[in-house]
Structures are given as structure tokens and as C-alpha cells.
Amino acid sequence: MRTDSQRSRIPAFHVMDVWKAATERARTHGDVLTLAAGQPSTPAPAPVLRAAREAVDTQVLGYTETFGIAPLREAVAGYHSSRYGIEVDPENVVVTTGSSGAFTLLFLAAFDLGDTVVVARPGYPAYRNTLTALGCRVIELDCGPQTRYQPTVAMLAELDEPPAGLIVASPANPTGTVIDPVELAALARWCEDHGTLLISDEIYHGIEFGSAAEPGGAPARTACAWETSREAVVIGSVSKYFSMTGWRLGWAVVPDALLRPLQRLSSNMTVCPPAISQYAAVAAFTEESRLELDAHVRRYAVNRELLLSELPRLGVTELAPADGAFYVYADIGHLTDDSTTWCADLLDETGVAVAPGIDFDTVHGDRTLRISFAGATADVEEALARLERSAAFRR
């Protein structure tokens, strides 16, 4: 009897394997420093925790509307209006079970079998793998340092024909690079002109830094795709800036034409997002929460500067700019051509967990790694001290 489907035979998410190995190392040695996970090390903001307790005491916490409770959709719309100076109707906000749920529903709603969707390489592997599982044809654009690891209109113009979709992420995972607002606007206009659905992954908005070349400089401005095109889809989440990964709550801001298709799919596939997370997340958009969350971003900035200054001293000099998010993406080709084994050996030797680049780059990933700096500054300092003593950096 066949036990698995063809669509399930997509590549694994290797970061989760690292996470499992790190958990085992913590159990056996108790010395793990996890710089592999793409999540904050802090709990949800205090107002969110209070709202969750209140919801447990006062709400039934049954099914909600498929697209989410009205107060949360209004809060998300208000967030976009205040941050970007654009008007967003709460009716265009679709609350989902994490941004991952938003992507899956959107891919199903917008693309058919065989449709072509373009993504950047390096990039977040779940775009590529989910699209592949759903029968789409994925084209990866090789985005290196010459374009700051981001796609450009010139790259799209070289394609044989306009794709059905283009996914961009700014700040990006794993590189942390931000698309210049002028370039994002150009991409949005190109997509609108060519009938291509632009999907803008904006889940790391709120985590931005000054130029690596100019420490203390003004943060890179993260533009919203809806500033240029209301035909685009904007994906957001409470996971990253809002420090709520396990609450599994995301959203999509979508054009009117996609609302009914998403309603049909979502009501059948998920019914609604988690109720308690929705009631709690309304408080994530308050001023009190923002002050707490901005303090986390200041800590990320300290950790980022530590890595960008100390890694070159260890011989790791080819680093992505790290404009935002909480990652440093590094070329370690002078140390290995098998980053998966190298990272596993590093964990065994030092207890420091980092992510091999093979998840993010199907061509060059054996020569790269991603380091997360979302944890405590003391952990980053200790990790750097262990790396300096490590044989892995003396090959």
C-alpha cells in the first residue's frame, strides 16, 4: 500500500532538524546556545498576556468569523494606516493561522496547477516547497550581492513570459536585506502591468537597522506594497516583531477580487484562526506593547553589531547587509562545501546551533549559514567566544 503522496515528497525544512538536534544536545549536555531559530526569545508583550487571561475568563473561545474577529481586523487595518500612511479597509484584512496559513490559502486561491511563480534565491524555503507541493512551477532568481540579494525589474524582464506570481520579502529571510522603496514600487508597477500577482512578505516589518557601513545610521525604510498597488497582497504576522510565534496568527491584506475565493477555501480548510490568539493579539497593537517590542529591537541591534564586527575577525567576511529581521547570512565556502555537516559538527563541538544555508539556497547553500541574533546579548557573546575557540573556524 502506498503510504505517501507525490506532493509530500518536498524537501524537509532543515532548520527543524537543527532544532531537534539542539534540543537533544540541551538534554544531554545542558550547554546549548540556539542561534538557529527564527523567533524571538521573549514572550508576548504584557498587554497581550493580560488580554489572553481576560479572554479565558470572559469569552466562550469558540469559532469566530472565518476572516477573524472585527476588532483584530480593525487593529491590523489601523496598523497599516498609521505605519504607512495608507487607508486599509478592515474588510480587506484576512486573519489566518500564522502567515504560513496565509501563504497556503493564497497560493490555492490565486494559482492553478502548472502556474509559474517567481521567488528569490536565497529565500525562505517554504515558499518554494509549498508551491511545489501544490503543483506550481517555481522559478528561482539568483539574487546575489550585486542586487543586495533581492529581485529586480530587470530580472523579471528577462523571463520568457510574465509569471503568474512574484514573491518578495523585505526584510528577507535569511539575508535580512530590505528592498529599497523605489525598487519595491517599480516591482509592484511591473507586476500590475503584466498581470502578475505580487505577494509581499512583510512579516519582519518593525525590525530595521541602520546601514552596516554606518553604525547608528537611520534604519532602512520598509515600504508596504500597498503604497503603490492595491492589486498586490501584503502578508503580515504577529510572530516576529510582535514576539508571538507560537500564537499562530497572521494576516493578508488582499484586493477585493481575492476575498471570496479565500473565504471559500478558508471556511472549508481551517474554519477560523485560533480564537484566544485573536482576542489577545488586539492588544499587540497598543502603545504599551509597542514600547516593549521596540526595546527588543534595540537589543537585536546590539547583537547584530556584535556579529557584524566579530565574524570578520574569525575570517567570515562575506556577509549579507542585514538591514532588518534578526539574521546574519554568511558565506563559509572557505571553511566547507557541506554546511549541513559543518553546522552539525559545530553543534557537537561547541553547543552552538546555527542553520545551514541549504534550506535557503538550493545552489550555493552548501557554502552558507544563517545565524539568528534574536536571543539574549549574553548568549551571542558566549557563542562568539566558543566559535573563536572552535576548530571549525581554523580549517
Instruction: Give the mean pLDDT of 151-161.
Output: 97
Q: What is the pLDDT of residue 392?
A: 83
Residue 334: exposure state from Cβ atoms within 10 A (0-12, 13-18, ≥19): exposed
Pick the range with the lowest mean pLDDT from 13-17, 52-56, 130-134, 213-217: 213-217
Answer whether residue 306 shows pLDDT above 90. Answer: yes
Answer whether residue 219 shows pLDDT above 90. Answer: no
Contact call for residues 383 and 346 (beta carbons, < 8 A): no
Q: What is the pLDDT of residue 394?
A: 75
The residue ranges of DSSP E strands in 53-210, in sequence order, are 93-96, 116-121, 137-142, 165-169, 197-201
**Which string of DSSP letters, residue by residue, matches 11-67?**
PP-HHHHHHHHHHHHHHHTS--EE---SS-SS---HHHHHHHHHHHHH-------TT
d(CA 97, CA 134): 18
Answer whether residue 326 shows pLDDT above 60. Answer: yes
Write down the pTM of the prediction: 0.95
pLDDT tens string 45-85: 999 999 999 999 999 999 999 999 999 999 999 999 999 99
Instruction: Give the mean pLDDT of 175-190.
Output: 97
Write down the mean pLDDT value for the chain. Answer: 95
292 vs 4, higher pLDDT: 292
Answer whether residue 390 shows pLDDT above 70. Answer: yes
- Torsion angle of C-alpha atoms 259, 200, 133, 357, degrees rounded to 10: -160
Instruction: Name 198's bridge partners.
Output: 166
pLDDT tens string 260-270: 999 999 999 99
Instruction: Give the mean pLDDT of 307-331.
Output: 96
End-to-end CA, the chain: 48
Residue among 276, 264, 290, 263 nearest 72 (CA): 276
Q: How confident is the model at residue 218 (pLDDT cuts 50, 70, 90)?
A: low
69 vs 1, higher pLDDT: 69
Answer whether residue 19 shows pLDDT above 90. Answer: no
pLDDT tens string 195-205: 999 999 999 99
* % of residues, the chain, pLDDT over 90: 90
Q: What is the pLDDT of residue 211?
A: 54
d(CA 345, CA 295): 34
Answer whether residue 87 shows pLDDT above 70. Answer: yes
Answer whether residue 213 shows pLDDT above 50. Answer: no
Pick the range with the lowest mean pLDDT from 15-24, 62-71, 236-245, 283-292: 15-24
